[in-house]
């Protein structure tokens, strides 16, 4: 069987809007990652960027289940010895409301150059407004 290569110019790329208000953070992130990856298209290949663009609004109003607001931890490292920093979901979402959604989508995309390229196709906003109305995005109801 031959490897399928789809020409990027021939791929029809659409824009979608997902309203995360009152929705579970992980379910919204999983759906967004699937759309951005292109898994919902019949021409899906895992090594190419053929997915669509996703705009997530009201990311700051997404909910998490259980005790994740206190127990879920996010890590970052400065690169120096002893430079590991930890912050829980509650503090991170208070300071940067869209950040937990961005990190959730990032974790569901492939690692490496393709994943970094796909992450640029996800636009996350904490509030209900976004500057992508000119693309005529379709609303996705979860």
Q: Tokens 């959730």 label which residue?
A: 104
Domains of the chain (ranges plus CATH)?
Answer: 8-63+99-140 (3.90.1180.10)
Q: Which pLDDT score, from 0 to 100, does residue 34 have?
A: 97
Q: Which of these, 55, 30, 22, lies nearest to 124 by C-alpha position? A: 55
- Mean pLDDT of the chain, nearest integer: 95
Q: Which pLDDT score, from 0 to 100, does residue 80 have?
A: 98
Q: Which pLDDT score, from 0 to 100, does residue 9 have?
A: 84
> Rounded distance, CA 27 to CA 35, Å?
13
Q: DSSP readout, 55-110?
A: EEE-GGG-B--TTHHHH-EEEEE-SSTT-EEEEEHHHHHHH-TTHHHHHHHHHHSP
Contact 48, 6 (CB under 8 A): yes
Q: Which pLDDT score, from 0 to 100, does residue 7 have?
A: 86
Looking at the chain, the number of H-run helices and the number of E-run strands are 5, 6
From first to last of the 142 residues of the chain, give the pLDDT tens digit. Answer: 677 788 878 899 999 999 999 999 999 999 999 999 999 998 898 999 999 999 999 999 999 999 999 999 999 999 999 999 999 999 999 999 999 999 999 999 999 999 999 999 999 999 999 999 999 999 999 8
Q: Which pLDDT score, from 0 to 100, does residue 25 have?
A: 97
Q: Which pLDDT score, from 0 to 100, does residue 6 have?
A: 83
| Buried/exposed code over 44-72 (b: 16+ C-beta within 10 A; e: otherwise) | eeeebbbbbbbbbbbbbbbebeeebeeeb
Q: Which pLDDT score, from 0 to 100, does residue 84 have?
A: 98
């Amino acid at each position: 069987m031959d490897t399928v290569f789809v020409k990027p110019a021939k791929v029809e790329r659409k824009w979608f809007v997902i309203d995360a208000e009152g929705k579970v953070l992980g379910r919204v992130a999983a759906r967004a990652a699937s759309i951005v990856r292109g898994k919902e298209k019949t021409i899906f290949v895992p090594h190419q960027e053929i997915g669509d663009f996703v705009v997530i609004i009201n990311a700051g109003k997404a909910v998490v289940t259980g005790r994740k607001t206190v127990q879920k931890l996010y890590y970052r490292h400065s690169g120096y010895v002893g430079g590991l920093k930890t912050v829980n979901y509650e503090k991170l979402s208070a300071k940067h409301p869209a950040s937990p959604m961005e990190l959730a989508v990032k974790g569901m995309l492939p690692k490496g150059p393709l994943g970094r390229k796909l992450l640029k196709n996800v636009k996350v906003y904490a509030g209900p407004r976004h500057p992508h109305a000119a693309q005529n995005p379709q609303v996705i109801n979860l």
